[in-house]
Structure 1
Amino acid sequence: MTKQKTQYVCQSCGYISPRFLGRCPNCGAWNQMVEELVAAKKPVANAQTNLAGKVSKPELMNQVNIEKEPRVKTKMVELNRVLGGGIVPGSLVLVGGDPGIGKSTLLLQVSGQLSELGERVLYVSGEESASQIKMRAGRLGVSGQGLYLYPETDMVSIKQQINELKPAYVIIDSIQTMQEPELSSVVGSVSQVREVTAELMKLAKQNQITIFIVGHVTKDGSIAGPKILEHMVDTVLYFEGDRNRTFRILRAVKNRFGSTNEIGIFEMHNGGLHEVKNPSEIFLEERLEGATGSAVVVSLEGTRPILVEIQALVTPTVFGNAKRTTTGLDHNRAALIMAVLEKRANLMLQNQDAYLKAAGGVKLDEPAIDLAIAVSVASSYRDKETRPTDCFIGEIGLTGEIRSVNRIEQRIKEAAKLGFKRAFVPRNNMKDVEVPKSIQIITVTTIAEALKKAFS
């Protein structure tokens, strides 16, 4: 009898070692090496065939028929935007997020909408029974005419049901609960996740079946499992939000069929997720008039302009070193802007604590928010308010100049639509730009000039 070989696999990155190691030499994680049996080598597989029995063969590139990429639009406009215009048939989509954030709710609602289009949808759940899913579907108002529920974790059985039903869409909830029986490793291990994802990718590409995969996240917010998981899929979506708030943000971090800068905003209700048509009104509805340390920026998330209030609180420090705290903003960006304000605008901030945040729980990370951050800091420091109908757009350089940003015309139109009367923009941006008559454009060149005009 041959002796079974074992190996040690890191559960964080997938590094393989012939012996046990306390610390993974690849990713540096401690106590993540798990012993697994080495699977026997399989005989050479035959050519890959799809469910219809068609064998894949090499084709000359100039003989491959290329048609316009088809898109299937759901009733969720926000989801269509994040995916790049709709669902691409045959794509593999990974949806990650914190526990209880609403991943299963989102995909169950999408499954119901796809089944109403006359397509078969197979919802595979490794965490809930069919009765539990039906109870949740009843609360969400999902009828499920062509929606099949299948509580199973065995990939052999799942592939058999896909072969029999031939669905157009498959939902896997979640990838960490699925197992390949031929592997001896535990469910949720790196080997299992990698093999299961590879099987799902073959099914999706060979049979033009769109597969949505739910992925759990780790403590640091990344999707659990090997990094190769995100490389294998076509699209990676993160469902973000605070469980203490009702708003949820769907963000694309990888998309082979569209932009990775798009976001979709939803609001969680008892009846499920509802789309937020105009997020700018929600982010600004609780803004106080006459408050200091407040400035509104027109940020661009993908192709969508969003008006967000940036708040700053500047107070004298009681310790030797001044503190800089940010929420929803990049800490290094805030520190850089405050250094520019001290050097170029003569604001003594080195002995001041500064607390900055983007109101509404949204995360902003683009150069155009620099001017609004600087104005909010100066407003709090000088204890002078800005006009409630002013908005600020522009990037700040280290020499104090206000640099141009992209899509300025689209940003200005969005501000005018929401009733803003003045917009502070970089001077170099206003070349051949048409603006609405209802808004006044104030061009600025330096940060000192911008502060002087904003508080005059």
Structure 2
Amino acid sequence: MAKKPRSVHTCSECGYASPKWLGRCPECGSWGTLQESAAPTKAGSAAAAAVSGTAPAGLTPTTPAQPITKIDATASHVVSSGIGELDRVLGRGVVPGSVVLMAGEPGVGKSTLLLEVASKWAQQPADDGAGTRTALYVTAEESAGQVRARAERTDALKDTLYLAAESNLDVIFGHVNQLKPSLIIIDSVQTMHASGVEGVAGGVAQSRAVTAALTTLAKTTGIPILLVGHVTKDGNVAGPRVLEHLVDVVLNFEGDRQTSLRMLRGIKNRFGATDEVGCFEQTADGIREVPDPSGLFLSHRGETPDGSAVTVAMDGVRPILAEVQSLTVDPVAKSPRRVVTGLDSNRVPMVLAVLQARAGERTNDKDAYVATVGGMRITETATDLAVALATWSSLHESPLPPKTVVIGEVGLAGELRRVPNLSRRLGEAARLGYQYAVVPDGEDLQVPGMRVAPCSTLREAITAVAPRRG
């Protein structure tokens, strides 16, 4: 009687192997991640030799190792995707043979953005100068008619943009062999099915096998592949963590459904930094890139209103001008209310308390409504001074001087503390026409076209803007 083949249970999160099933992985502590698979029948010659204590013989390599200076530099050059904001996050463009995983909540616009990428790609001339590039868009979540209708609405119809509604990975490889595209987009990786692999589409085994096969395809052919990925309720990439390890770049496309703003952030990037941010706007005609997002967060009124202050927030390494508004009114109930939108709801009441205790402004007998303009969310402490001066402006019904930007963290003692990247923030404000800045003391800043007023306390900052009001 033949023996039953041995099996091994491997953790999909960390790769820990166990001869029997365990509910919790002893290595990483994850629950329900051990998946059964067939154990290898024989150990490799090198591994067996290492276990026995003898020198491993090894195999003759088909391609000998080369000096790093002899490696062809063209294999690592970048190619523009046609969308500047995407190139910014990727690190100047798309690297041939790279695999990019873009994750995001349902309905945020991942498919629309990648369809726009495929359209822009198909408009650019080919590397050999003959004709234009060819892009293959594979969809398994929608029908070909649905994608065609969206492409017509967003003006993405191009003759060299090919569409295939398919979920079988083998058939997709057949399309690649026939078309020889220079870009492949898979929407989405959780809906693809690999033949010969157990499990349903979207499961641990299938997602891992599909991603590994597509990664091998990209590395062997030099074709860049963009994958759409689902996210969990926590906002993380769905599926085993091995997906993030297999791909070269992991991007997160995020946005609030109540606003049109969309942000593209890098979580992992083997070819560039992960602190770059791309800005997009969801419109009726598709996704539009916003190279200068500061205009989305500033009011377009000619005069500066009461209770308004402009600050500069950092999103990664990108400075963005934002407007903070504050409204103070007589309380409706006995206890004054503090309503905060777009800012830290715990820090704003603290700033209002410092404004009263250290600057003598009565805030404890007023309802205070503090919010950002345009749906922007700011969590850094550099906006403390904007909150304080906007509230001061509302209390006195006196606007801040025009073309003024305020930046600084407020301490409990009423002191102004320095913030990082101050020179970059002021440079962005000067580029947009702001001429006066109130900042914490401690740095000798010289910004062309801007007068900088360094202040050490909140009271000094109020004095710096009060004589110039009106």
Please give the TM-score of this superposition, normalised by the length of structure 1.
0.80
Name the residue aligned to 1:363: 377
Which of residues 98, 115, 118 is equivalent to 1:111?
118
Name the residue aligned to 1:453: 464
Which of residues 175, 186, 199 is equivalent to 1:161?
175
Larger Rg: 2
Following the alignment from structure 1 to structure 2, what is the Cα–Cα distance between the partners of residues 28 and 141?
49
For residues 175-213 of structure 1, what are the alpha-carbon distances to aligned partners after superposition, in whole Å with 9 as ceiling and x for unaligned? Answer: 111123333222212332233222222222333221111
For residues 93-125 of structure 1, what are the alpha-carbon distances to aligned partners after superposition, in whole Å with 9 as ceiling and x for unaligned? Answer: 121222122111111111111122222222111
CA change 1:27–1:337 in 2 (3 A) is farther
Give the residue type in structure 1 aligned to 2:294: S
Give the residue type in structure 2 aligned to 1:452: T
RMSD value, Cα = 4.0
CA change 1:110–1:5 in 2 (3 A) is same
Deviation (angstroms), 1:214: 0.7
Name the residue aligned to 1:247: 261
Name the residue aligned to 2:453: 442
Number of aligned pairs?
A: 441
Percent same amino acid among aligned pairs? 42
Structure 2: which 5+ residue stretches go unaligned? 45-60, 125-131
Following the alignment from structure 1 to structure 2, what is the Cα–Cα distance between the partners of residues 55 and 204?
20
- Contact 2:427–2:447 (Cα < 8 Å) also in 1: no
CA change 1:163–1:434 in 2 (3 A) is same
Name the residue aligned to 1:97: 104
Equivalence map 1:279-358=2 (5 Å): 279-286=293-300, 289=303, 291-302=305-316, 304-313=318-327, 326-331=340-345, 333-334=347-348, 337-338=351-352, 340-341=354-355, 344-346=358-360, 355-358=369-372
Name the residue aligned to 1:84: 91
**Residue 248 of structure 1 aligns to a residue in which SS?**
strand
Equivalence map 1:32-47=2 (5 Å): 33=32, 38-39=37-38, 41=40
Following the alignment from structure 1 to structure 2, what is the Cα–Cα distance between the partners of residues 449 and 189?
60
User: Structure 1 residue 74 and structure 2 residue 118: aligned?
Assistant: no
Name the residue aligned to 1:275: 289
CA change 1:24–1:99 in 2 (3 A) is farther
Deviation (angstroms), 1:265: 2.4
Give the residue type in structure 2 aligned to 1:127: E
Name the residue aligned to 1:233: 247
Deviation (angstroms), 1:309: 0.7
- Contact 1:4–1:37 (Cα < 8 Å) also in 2: no
Following the alignment from structure 2 to structure 1, what is the Cα–Cα distance between the partners of residues 15 and 399?
54
Following the alignment from structure 2 to structure 1, what is the Cα–Cα distance between the partners of residues 173 and 196?
14
User: Structure 1 residue 150 and structure 2 residue 164: aligned?
Assistant: yes
Deviation (angstroms), 1:19: 5.7
Following the alignment from structure 1 to structure 2, what is the Cα–Cα distance between the partners of residues 382 and 42?
81
Give the residue type in structure 2 aligned to 1:186: V
Following the alignment from structure 2 to structure 1, what is the Cα–Cα distance between the partners of residues 397 and 159?
60
Give the residue type in structure 2 aligned to 1:447: L
**Residue 453 of structure 1 aligns to a residue in which SS?**
helix
CA change 1:33–1:304 in 2 (3 A) is closer
- Contact 1:8–1:20 (Cα < 8 Å) also in 2: no
Following the alignment from structure 2 to structure 1, what is the Cα–Cα distance between the partners of residues 369 and 26?
39
Please give the TM-score of this superposition, normalised by the length of structure 2.
0.78
- Contact 2:430–2:447 (Cα < 8 Å) also in 1: no
Structure 1: which 5+ residue stretches go unaligned? 46-53
